[in-house]
Amino acid sequence: MSEALRGGLIVGQSGGPTAVINASLVGVVEEALRHLEITHVLGALHGVQGILEGDVVDLGREDRATLEALRRTPSAGLGSGRHRLQPGDPERILAALQALDVRYFLYIGGNDSADTAHRVAAAAAERGYPLRAISVPKTIDNDLPFTDHCPGYGSIARYVAIAARDAGRDTEAMRKVDPVKLLEVPGRNAGWVAAAAALGKRSDEDAPHLIFPPERRLSLDRFLDAVRRAYDRLGFVVAVVAETVRDEQGDPIGTAAPEMGTADAFGHRRLAGAAAYLCREVASRLGLRARWDKPGTLSRSSMTCVSEVDLGEAHLVGRQAVKAALRGETDRMVTLIREPGQPYRVSTGLAPLADVANQERHLPDEYLTADGTFVTPAFLDYALPLIGGPLPEYARLRKVRFLGPG
């Protein structure tokens, strides 16, 4: 047990928002307000950018009802960002923390945020400034190492599972008009979000019928062949495509088709994404009308599909981060550890930030079928407990043929 370190705590949110990142924030604030050695509880607006620019708020002056409602408010209440540390930034951040008399630096985010927290911790160690820097895991991408899963994932997994099932019912009904539907989902370089589309599937008819994660290169010929075979079997097809899926050359899907739309002014994004391009190929090469849906950022900030398990765990890791800092830990990320056996439950642990930062955990081979177009039962076992209970039941008519009156 390290001796008590007296001073302020600052918390920030970083990276893409989630449905539950505010639950982590509330967990941090609630726990911090319980301990006398934490003299003031501050919030950095838009992550470390707020520290660098002096945009810091006093979270001790928020009322209880606001914090309670914030727990079920999606997106990042403090504002988030993607500030990349510039040379000298860790030292500038440290100086600002010192001026604020902050001894506890809690940073809620993903891989890049862990890197930021690590570099601030390193700067503090180098200067001999007593600072406890703890990272709180958060990412829909579920790609942080050392943790069983990431807060934020369970809720987008539930969203995508419901969306895929709804897309299935919609396409099944409209099979005579638009028999192919592509659902484009986020997930950076990992296919965890795309894979989650399978979590609502109960029968061969249920969507999705195909899943294309970024872990596998997508061959257009094999894609079209898989769509054709599913269509021949069922009369309609729903395929889930990760927005970051790449072709056999390793380029984003559709790169070789300049008529797909030019990039934006920043050169980052093509106008029409993977699903739009693949739809066109399905139409022109298979002669099947195809539509695509791209819920985009709606999928990460939806409270209508929140996983109660995810919401609870997000709050838990926030509280545990403060407790770890008070115990004397620093330069660590809180992790979730799945306890063996049933029912599903977790405990928390810690992992060194230096090892977490900038690492990505991809879908392992055992979670994908041999042809890479669907998930295995092992993935379902892993992910089902995270979405917080079964999806609402849908019915399907028996459709007994009528053989004539009388």
Please give the positions annotated as active site. 141
Tell whether the torsion through CA atoms of 92, 98, 100 and 102 is positive or negative. Answer: positive
197 binds a second copy (CB under 8 A): no
Phi first, then psi, for residue 320 (nearest 5°) are -65, -30
Which residues between 279 and 338 bind a second copy (CB under 8 A)?
A: 279-280, 283-284, 287, 289-298, 300-305
Interacting residues of 108 by C-beta distance below 8 A, sequence separation 6+: 11, 12, 13, 14, 21, 24, 25, 28, 135, 136, 138, 318
Task: Name the segment binding a second copy (CB under 8 A); options: 200-208, 220-228, 315-323, 395-403.
Answer: 395-403
CB 163 within 8 A of CB 299: yes
Binding mask 8-37 for a second copy (x = CB under 8 A): x----x--xx--------------------
- Report how far residue 320's alpha carbon sits from residue 31's, in angstroms, rounded to the nearest whole number: 8
79 binds a second copy (CB under 8 A): yes
Q: How far is the CB of 242 from a second copy (least distance, A)?
A: 16
Q: What is the DSSP letter of 246?
A: B
394 binds a second copy (CB under 8 A): yes
Q: Which of 204, 259, 340, 343 touches a second copy (CB under 8 A)?
A: 259
Binding mask 159-178 for a second copy (x = CB under 8 A): ---xx--xx-xxxxxxxxx-
Q: Residues touching a second copy: how many (CB under 8 A)?
A: 99
261 binds a second copy (CB under 8 A): yes
Binding mask 88-107 for a second copy (x = CB under 8 A): -----------xxx------
Which residues between 124 and 163 bind a second copy (CB under 8 A)?
A: 162-163
395 binds a second copy (CB under 8 A): yes
Q: Is 376 left (phi over 0), alpha (psi -120 to 50) or beta?
A: beta
Q: Which of 28, 32, 117, 276 touches a second copy (CB under 8 A)?
A: 276
272 binds a second copy (CB under 8 A): yes
End-to-end CA distance of the chain: 85
Strand pairing report for 210-212 and 180-185: unpaired
Interacting residues of 403 by C-beta distance below 8 A, sequence separation 6+: none
